[in-house]
Amino acid sequence: MGPWEEVTYCFASGCAALPMLMSIKAAIEQRQCTGGWSRKTEIELGMKCWYHSVFACPILRQQTSHSNPPIKLIRGHVISRDAFNKLINGGKLKCPYCLMEQNPADGKRIVF
């Protein structure tokens, strides 16, 4: 992928996210909220904004793929699905970075 293709994906992603961000801004202004965000909000950009992932799993040291996608753990650490499956022990998964235990069902597939 060339640099212009990356710029195109970034621009398309921003355009797809802008309506959601504008409605959030309007809701905050309408309610006159002065505090910070109460929770994280993820914006689904759709398949048209997906492109080849270049993430390499820091545990298994291999590039992720469609058959071995990156998985985000509860605290935001990311590993490959193969590493994720290898770390499951007795119905629990311990994060290799912060050692926090989590339910494997809480892992979420992500696309960069």
pLDDT tens digit sequence for 20-57: 888 888 877 777 665 555 555 666 777 666 665 578 99
Q: What is the mean pLDDT of residues 87-110?
A: 93
Domains and CATH numbers, the chain: 3-40 (no CATH), 52-112 (3.30.40.10)
pTM over 0.85: no
DSSP state of 93: E
Residue with the two structure tokens 């990356």? 6
> Is the distance from CB of 82 to CB of 63 less than 8 angstroms?
no
Name which of 73, 67, 62, 66 is nearest 51 in CA terms.
66
Which tokens is 52 given?
A: 């080849």
Residue 57 confidence (pLDDT): 92
